[in-house]
Amino acid sequence: MKDFFSFPEVVNEISARLVAFGVLSMALLSLVLINTNNTYTPILLLILLYGFLARTSSGPKISPLALLVTRIIVPKLNLGDKPVPGPPKRFAQSIGLVFSLLILVSWFSVNIALANTLLIILASFAFLESALGYCFGCKVFKLLIRAGLLSEDICEKCSTLEY
């Protein structure tokens, strides 16, 4: 069971960027649906939340988006492998989890302005990761380690791989 709820020590940066593109697409679609009062809005918001929960808890094992990217898209496109440390990516996924939960709660609380604002922030982070390879959560993770708020033992690969 411990292995199931684990996150890879090293992940493929290309896969991470493609997953971020999927998150960006869902966040933008959610913005459209929220503002048109669409009946599918809660379903998409739940899918977004589940994806972050799945990736935070277990890496790509039970995330449909991550499985699509890692098992089908990256191999088919022969995009190669760019190894980066996994713990900062897991931290970034956990930030997405918190944001997606707050978005869903805001939507159910009929605070559409807050849900929109949080979706725009989430979409911005996903855009930075997917288009530019800039992982905001990874940078925060690094700052937390430098500040001594996280132990360097959490990420042994962080000193040998760039992130």
Residue 46 has pLDDT above 70, yes or no: yes
Residue 102 and residue 118 in contact, taking contact as beta carbons nearer than 8 Å: yes
Residue 66: which domain range? Answer: 10-159
57 found inside a domain: yes
At residue 4 the predicted structure's pLDDT band, cuts being 50, 70 and 90, is confident
- pLDDT tens column, 88-101: 999 999 999 999 99
Confirm whether 3 is domain-assigned.
Answer: no
Give residues with Cβ within 8 angstroms of 37, minimum separation 6.
none
**HSE of 118 in the Cβ direction (CA atoms, 13 Å)?**
21
Q: What's the total number of domains in the chain?
A: 1
